[in-house]
């Protein structure tokens, strides 16, 4: 263990070295104008010599503000949370806040544990992905007395505030495109909807678009798998086996869509000539695979940035603006469908 050597210096050490009270040290750091020039010089010298760094734990206890904002998301990878956190971080950095990130792994129970842990650490605000939570999570969040933002979908009754887009409408929009362009059976590959309202609504959007176009959303047209390239590939196989005449497939994530596309490449299935494939999220991979994937761009960074703004506004006491912000989405038609 890297040896601590000399103890960390405290406010008191600096004060004693400079021959002033701790308050004067604090003032020198926070409002230097209110300190006499000569005093200020001495304090600054002491500050430098001791290499003083405020203890944020002690500050948090005394001020009842930790300066930490928690963000919860299913996965750390996938760039989804990365972009959201980046946006939120950019929005709150100027106000001295730091971000804490937690991964729920698509489990509402794990989400509850994390909320409990973050609340015990007295975060000043919290962002949760999705609008589906355990009753205890909702209760804790409601009683916490801090700003809470639900993101990445639109809740009917937000716990506090929300920022996202309609996963249902977005999915319906892609599938409408598919139905307009291709005649045959249109399948759906999604990850499990258990505890995942985004996926549930994307699946719902698929079904709605199919019914609009006069086709039945036959359950056998849906393959539910875990969220990975490999699972997407396997699902494509399942669907093709069930419906050899499958003409198009909507995937609840670009990860699944890319997996399905790779499987088509292995099987020599022409995309989109023989089978059209559409994804969701507009991850980097969607634009780079060959052919590039038709998909939906979702405002990841903007969700984070807006959530950060809402949090800052609420902490500052000006809880202005709507409580639910719809950021919309963009249908991106590319070569795969």
Partner DNA sequence: GTGAAAGCGCTAACAG
Partner DNA sequence: CTGTTAGCGCTTTCAC
Where do contacts with its own copies occur on this chain (CB under 8 A)? 1-6, 53-58, 60-61, 66, 75-79, 81-82, 85, 98, 100-101, 103, 116-117, 119-122, 141-148, 159-160, 228-230, 233, 258-259, 262, 265-266, 284-285, 287-290, 314, 319
β-pairing verdict for 148-151 and 295-297 = unpaired
Site for DNA in 38-67 (CB under 7 A): 38-40, 52, 54-55, 58-59, 61-64
157 binds DNA (CB under 7 A): no
Cα separation of 35 and 45, whole Å?
14
Which range binds DNA by CB under 7 A, 21-29, 83-91, 283-291, 295-303?
21-29
Closest CA to 282 of 312, 251, 261: 251
Q: What would the two tokens of residue 160 be?
A: 């506090």
Number of H helices, E strands in the chain: 13, 12
Binding partner selected for residue 177 from DNA, its own copies, none, CB under the kind-specific 5 to 8 Å limit:
none
Q: Which is nearer to its own copies, 194 or 290 (CB)?
A: 290
Closest CA to 307 of 112, 140, 83: 83
CB of 24 to DNA, least distance (A): 4
Give, for 215, the enclosing helix (H) or strand (E).
none
Q: What would the two tokens of residue 42 be?
A: 């001495």
Q: Which is nearer to its own copies, 148 or 207 (CB)?
A: 148
Cα separation of 82 and 46, whole Å?
40
CB of 118 to DNA, least distance (A): 16
Q: Which is nearer to DNA, 56 or 216 (CB)?
A: 56
Burial 86-101 (b: 16+ CB within 10 A, else e): bbbbebbeeeebebbb
| Interface positions with DNA (CB under 7 A) | 8, 10-12, 20-24, 26-27, 34-36, 38-40, 52, 54-55, 58-59, 61-64
């Amino acid at each position: 263990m890297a040896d601590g050597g000399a103890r960390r210096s405290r406010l008191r050490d600096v004060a004693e070295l400079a021959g002033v009270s701790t308050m004067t040290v604090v003032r020198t750091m926070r409002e230097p104008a209110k300190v006499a020039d000569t005093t200020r010089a001495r304090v600054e010298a002491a500050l430098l010599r001791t290499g003083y760094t405020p203890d944020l734990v002690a500050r948090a206890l005394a001020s009842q503000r930790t300066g930490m904002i928690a963000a919860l998301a299913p996965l750390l990878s996938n760039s989804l949370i990365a972009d959201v956190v980046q946006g939120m971080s950019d929005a709150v950095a100027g106000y001295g806040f730091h971000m804490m990130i937690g991964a729920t792994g698509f489990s509402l129970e794990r989400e509850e544990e994390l909320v409990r842990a973050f609340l015990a650490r007295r975060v000043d605000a919290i962002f949760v992905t999705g609008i589906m939570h355990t009753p205890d999570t909702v209760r804790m969040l409601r009683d916490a007395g801090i700003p809470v933002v639900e993101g990445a979908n639109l809740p009917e009754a937000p716990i506090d505030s929300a920022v996202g887009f309609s996963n249902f409408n977005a999915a319906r929009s892609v599938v409408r495109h598919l139905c307009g362009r291709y005649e045959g059976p249109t399948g759906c590959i999604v990850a499990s909807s258990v505890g995942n309202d985004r996926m549930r609504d994307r699946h719902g959007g698929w079904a709605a678009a199919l019914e609009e176009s006069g086709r039945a959303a036959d359950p056998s047209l849906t393959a539910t798998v875990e969220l990975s390239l490999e699972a997407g590939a396997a699902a494509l196989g399942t669907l093709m086996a069930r419906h050899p005449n499958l003409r198009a497939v909507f995937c609840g994530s670009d990860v699944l869509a890319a997996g399905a596309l790779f499987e088509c490449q292995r099987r020599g299935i022409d995309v989109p000539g023989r089978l059209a494939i559409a994804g969701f999220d507009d991850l980097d991979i969607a634009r780079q695979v060959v052919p590039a994937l038709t998909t939906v761009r979702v405002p990841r960074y903007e969700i984070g940035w807006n959530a950060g703004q809402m949090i800052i506004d609420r902490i500052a006491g000006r809880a202005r603006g709507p409580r639910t912000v719809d950021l919309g989405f963009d249908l991106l038609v590319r070569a795969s469908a």
